[in-house]
Chains A and B, each alone.
Chain A
């Protein structure tokens, strides 16, 4: 919050979501696709099968165009967007995991070099060397997932890190292994789904049937692994996280619907993969594209679920989505949030700007004025007493985070709070009053009165 705030009509979180989901679809294919190509070329060499070799060769161009071009750029894109939208969280992650990211970068060097070398050496080197290059690629690509999964899962389940601040406690957090199993499954089924499209271009019917069947196995194994990983992931989540999207009274119904969507997408995908295995001759473009879309739907939905279930934090139990640290709540209540949010205060100077400044500092990371999660729409039905009551409760809830009265295995039991999905309101009495006054000016009746008075 002590950074400038970037105004985005559709919200910063949505931008991060778009870039991140695009990147993970590509990066997981880069891992699984590499493995599938390596596996297929190995089979081709052993069986002296030119059709399988052709499939590996055709797919390798897609691999480098997707992996070394789009994957690399969208990976940097995540850095760019999180730095713009969540600079404080990015800084916190960098300070804890710079060596982890640096290790991942080491794997990237090997991954990029071997991907390019693999494509460039078709028809040039001996098969054994070509296979060595692609298997090195597979190793590097998968190891990059092994590292980054630690950091991604840390944000939702920091576990013992909250007490120790140890690099290893953060990496090997409670949802690390479940997430890794889930993502490994995703890598496999995405590879199967993409490569099936390449296999369908095979003109030899017998060869095509064999390829479709082989890739169906990839997808079935991937789906089963992903399903197991997903269930395991759900199992290890703290109760307050589960409460957001699980159970008949989920705190966030939209996220609960996402969960159903995710599981149905996986079911449809499994059925399509079984169909491809049982009737490979009938598995053509329409069903193959449907399978790919189901794969995307599952993965995109899961990412949405994972991100959404972190509410109201960006790093659970450590930093809220507006950049405020749990540990700084008492200090900000005493000194005022605008003592830290200097950019918001600068943009809206004077007593009349205080309310807007408090809104910008604490609410604008999720709420826009008229666009995504429009604050104007949210305050429209609220009267002054009700608004003051809501703000007072939200402010009191800050104490719950600090006192830890509602805890669940070391986590703040956010589900016990009245506003479990929102960061608590922090700041001085003056600031809270200023925020209330500002929010009341956004109500339609108030706008109408103001216009009438002119």
Chain B
């Protein structure tokens, strides 16, 4: 491995214990990923809503409305894991992004286009116009963004590939795990968005909505989740076997710490498949639809842990001689914790008020 190209460790000490940064990174990344899956999967399902027998317009409307929020939260929740990751692995991350600098910068342009297209689609649908073309372009932007993220992620944890990529930027895509990993990402996103679609349809049906359209939404969501979970099963094993031999061996020898999250994640996927296969009429099986959503989120939780552990194994030799010093900034850490708790509490309070507060008869609305 070409360790001489790895930038030196930042001379400043870590402003907190490494374990805390790892925990905060994984937890905040999990929330980020849930929003990202909603956005990516939702935009793909909205783009392919034409495949649904009924409820096409409702499917599109739901996802553009959800994405108006989810994109903002996906971006906002990207900040925290990005911060904590940079504290621990900044030198690997910056190098990887510089090696594919134009693509990394281009991601911003794609994100801006996709976000505004979502609003274009939203207002077109509200005005009773079609938005199929807009949604396809929006989904394409998010798919490319996902590809860039996978590329940088694979590159930052494999310094041995840096020289080749520095000579030829397209070599960034030549990693044998790129395709299965990218597919893993896309399939998980569509499965989650499908489950969300079915769950929303079930809730609306319970409140007495238009049953035919809701049935179309729910069936489309469950079918999308079923197909992608089936494919995920194949892709998951492809990804596992495509890992470099030393990484796979180290992962398998990791004992319960690595094997338990992976096994639970796979079992959650298998169970999900069983539950999905049992749903013939989603509107008639609300409990099962809810179970589908729970299993998908559960699988994502364990896969995020596995992903983090794999990164550690990939980088183990490159970081073997790392002499990290720690000088915890207790006051600043306390400031963060207080601000975070207060802001989350105020956010929850504001959202609950926004959802529940309604004017009494004779009272003005805002």
Contact = CB atoms under 8 A, between A and B. Distances in A.
> Which bucket holds chain B's interface residue count?
35 or more
B79 interface: yes
27 contacts: A41-B366, A73-B75, A76-B108, A80-B104, A80-B105, A84-B104, A91-B10, A103-B332, A106-B336, A106-B339, A106-B343, A106-B344, A107-B343, A110-B347, A110-B350, A113-B73, A116-B68, A117-B351, A124-B358, A124-B365, A125-B353, A125-B359, A125-B366, A129-B354, A129-B357, A132-B350, A140-B346
B350 A109 contact: no
Contacts of A168: 331-332
B359 A110 contact: no
Interface residues of A, number: 71
A83 B97 contact: yes
Given A112-B73, A126-B366, A340-B8, A91 B347 contact: no
B297 interface: no
B43 to A, nearest CB: 15
Nearest to B69: A116
Given A84-B105, A98-B84, A133 B12 contact: no
A301 B310 CA distance: 47
Nearest to A137: B350
A437 B162 CA distance: 30
Contacts of A99: 15-16, 329, 332-333, 335-336
Contact of B347 (A68, A109, A165): A109
Interface in B238-285: none
A126 B365 contact: yes
Interface of B: 4-5, 7-8, 10-16, 24, 68-69, 71-73, 75-80, 82-84, 86-87, 90-91, 93-95, 97-99, 101, 104-105, 107-108, 111-112, 115-116, 119, 162-163, 166, 329, 331-333, 335-336, 339-340, 342-344, 346-347, 350-351, 353-354, 357-359, 363-366
B76 A108 contact: yes
A106 B16 CA distance: 18
Contacts of B76: 72, 105, 108-109, 112
Interface of B is mostly: helix
Give the 5 A-B CB pairs with smallest separation, nearest first.
Answer: A130-B366, A99-B332, A87-B94, A95-B12, A106-B343
Contact of B14 (A75, A95, A103, A120): A95
A69 interface: yes
Contacts of A3: 7, 91, 94-95, 98
Nearest to B111: A73
A102 B357 CA distance: 31
Contacts of A112: 72-73, 76
Nearest to B91: A91
Nearest to B344: A109
A91 to B, nearest CB: 5
B141 to A, nearest CB: 12
Interface in A85-111: 87-88, 90-92, 94-96, 98-103, 105-110
B347 A114 contact: yes
Contact of B366 (A91, A95, A110, A129): A129
Contacts of B11: 325
Nearest to A122: B366
